[in-house]
Amino acid sequence: MDLNNCFICSLDEKKFKLRLIPEIKQGKQINIFCSITHITPSYSLMFHMEELKRICSQGNFKLFIMMWDMNTLVNPYFKRLLSSRKVTNIPRFIEDKITELKNILLSHGFRKDQFFLYKSSDLWRRLVSYRDDNLFQQFYSVIAQMQNKDFVEHKTSHLIQYPMSLFFCTYLHKLCPEDTDKPMDLLFFGPQREKIYTMARATMYKEGIIENEKPFFIVMKDYPYITYNEALPNWEHGRDYIREMLTYWNLTKPEILSIMCHLKETIVKMKIKESEFDYDNFVKNPPQYQNEKLIEILATAMHIYLQERKKTFLELDSNIDETVLNISNKEEIKKMGEIMRSKIALQIMFFADGTRNITQMAKDLKKSVATISIYASKLKKMNLIRVIKNDKIKRNVKGLKVNFEFS
């Protein structure tokens, strides 16, 4: 495997080469678990998605991504959105973020059958209520042995969040048997997490919770995690604002170049006033620019990069194929049953192939526009349909799966 921008944890490297590389070459399915917090389509999220895509393109990989919605709700930027009334419906906001994340994955070239998305709150409920083993007690026994003094650079919440991600990864095939019956092979994560993950896994092994030190860890190379005014640079920001964010962070030249490594293709395409511009030489032997000049180059490159990702996302957004919806919450099952009892709602779902707007649908179904609008509004509220270009109605789901064990 080509691991230019990420690396296997040093403790795992030998076992990884002996056990997984042959399986990858044989075309066997390899399961990768990844957990993220998603609030805005930021540069960090795009870096992660592109790195995951690069890895998954090298074999038969299946991706299982958990969004930390519990973490989103305590994020300072999210709280600012709440206080400014830009977010008024929290459950709807979280569902919109799940949908946005799914569409970002598709816009990065992932097939719809290549990944699964989960909310951490849903997996948490499944883990706590799992009947065959007391998984929460096992989790508690692990974090009870981890102390803040060993991780002074981390927030206290990380001592819960990261080990819990590892537990979700380890037991996902038991918590979500409708999606996979195979344990995770790899846990992919970004900078700053390796120490906690390594200690948590070692503790799980020592406690007899796992029989071997697996899943293996694949770690993305470090780069600065830039926040300004409680936000990360994202594709809604203009170039000048991104430059302001980068300047505020007071980046060093090595930090600037580490971000540029992820923007290589964009920088190569830029017309920088340097004769015979060569990116690789630029990184190995950086010119004697002041940081201010490098910030200008980086801000322009990051803005172009994010706008290109946004353009691809928007172009594909109307063409995204519907997927199968997993339902396990009793209230969700009840609501779904209530709406699907309606013949009109079912007809709308059958007709919602992206070729009709509400007026056309009303004509085809021989119903009033007002009636179709009422039911379409209910279906949209449940995220079962969406409005695309020219006000056409498109399904978000092509089927439903119900898990009664965790409902």
Phi/psi at 217 (5° precision): -100, 130
Is 228 inside any structural domain?
no
Residues 258 and 398 in one domain: no
List all residues 6 or more positions away from 304 whose beta carbon is below 8 Å from its beta carbon: 266, 269, 270
Identity of residue 3: L
Q: Is 230 left (phi over 0), alpha (psi -120 to 50) or beta?
A: left
* CA dist., res. 205 & res. 217, Å (int): 15
**Collapsing DSSP states into helix, strand and coil, what is residue 65?**
strand
3-state secondary structure string, 319-363?
CCCCEEEEECCHHHHHHHHHHHCCHHHHHHHHHCECCCCHHHHHH
Is 139 inside any structural domain?
yes
Phi/psi at 64 (5° precision): -120, 110
* CA dist., res. 341 & res. 149, Å (int): 56
Which residues does residue 261 pair with via DSSP β-bridges, in sequence order?
none
Look up the CATH number of the domain holding residue 357.
1.10.10.10
Residues 329 and 307 in one domain: no
Residue 333 Cα to chain centre, angstroms: 25
Q: Tell me if 402 sits within 8 A of 328, measured CB to CB.
A: yes
* CA dist., res. 96 & res. 333, Å (int): 19
Is 230 inside any structural domain?
no
Is 86 inside any structural domain?
yes
Q: Is the pLDDT of residue 5 over 70?
A: no
Q: Which of 313, 341, 372 is the last residue of a domain?
A: 313
Strand locations in 68-132 (E): 115-119
Residues 145 and 12 in one domain: yes
* CA dist., res. 191 & res. 278, Å (int): 28
Residues 86 and 203 in one domain: yes
Which residues does residue 47 pair with via DSSP β-bridges, in sequence order?
none
Residues 75 and 209 in one domain: yes
Is 177 inside any structural domain?
yes
Look up the CATH number of the domain holding residue 76.
3.40.50.620
Predicted pLDDT at 142: 92
Predicted pLDDT at 177: 92
Residue appearing with tokens 């380890």: 170
**Collapsing DSSP states into helix, strand and coil, what is residue 81?**
helix
* CA dist., res. 22 & res. 27, Å (int): 9
- Of 228, 195, 220, give the one whose Cα is nearest residue 35: 220
Q: Are strands 30-36 and 6-8 parallel, antiparallel or unpaired?
A: unpaired
The average pLDDT across 179-197 equals 89
pLDDT grade for 368, boundaries at 50, 70 and 90: very high
Residues 304 and 358 in one domain: no
Predicted pLDDT at 406: 56
Q: Is the pLDDT of residue 231 over 60?
A: yes
Q: Tell me if 318 sits within 8 A of 285, measured CB to CB.
A: no
pLDDT tens per residue, range 104-128: 999 999 998 899 999 999 999 999 9
pLDDT grade for 3, boundaries at 50, 70 and 90: low
**Collapsing DSSP states into helix, strand and coil, what is residue 8?**
strand
Residues 32 and 164 in one domain: yes
Q: Tell me if 222 sits within 8 A of 259, measured CB to CB.
A: no
Identity of residue 227: T
Residues 306 and 338 in one domain: no
Q: Is the pLDDT of residue 348 over 60?
A: yes
**Which residues constitute the domain of residue 348?**
323-402
Predicted pLDDT at 233: 95
pLDDT tens per residue, range 350-362: 898 888 999 999 9
pLDDT grade for 179, boundaries at 50, 70 and 90: very high
Q: Is the pLDDT of residue 407 over 80?
A: no
Predicted pLDDT at 275: 46
Structure tokens at 150: 């060993």
Predicted pLDDT at 1: 56
Residue 329 Cα to chain centre, angstroms: 22
Whether the bond into 224 is cis, omega within 30 of 0: no
pTM of the full structure:
0.76
* CA dist., res. 301 & res. 296, Å (int): 9
Q: Is the pLDDT of residue 319 over 60?
A: no
Average pLDDT of every residue of the chain: 86
Q: Which of 313, 339, 371 is the last residue of a domain?
A: 313
pLDDT tens per residue, range 7-65: 888 888 888 888 888 998 899 999 999 999 999 999 999 999 999 999 999 889 999 99
Residues 285 and 193 in one domain: no
Residues 245 and 205 in one domain: no
- Of 185, 223, 184, 196, give the one whose Cα is nearest residue 5: 223
Q: Is the pLDDT of residue 385 over 80?
A: yes
Is 338 inside any structural domain?
yes
Tell me the C-alpha to C-alpha distance, in Å, between residue 364 and each of 58, 344, 376, 392: 47, 12, 15, 14
Which residues does residue 111 pair with via DSSP β-bridges, in sequence order?
none
Cα-Cα end-to-end distance for the chain: 41
- Residue 228: burial class (beta carbons within 10 Å; 0-12, 13-18, 19+): middle
Is 234 inside any structural domain?
no
The count of structural domains within the chain is 3
pLDDT tens per residue, range 243-277: 999 999 988 888 888 898 889 889 888 866 554 45
Instruction: Give helix 43-56 / helix 291-317 axis angle, nearest 10°.
Output: 70
Is 231 inside any structural domain?
no
Q: Which of 268, 291, 313 is the last residue of a domain?
A: 313
* CA dist., res. 48 & res. 54, Å (int): 10
Q: Is the pLDDT of residue 148 over 90?
A: no
Residues 101 and 161 in one domain: yes
Residues 290 and 329 in one domain: no
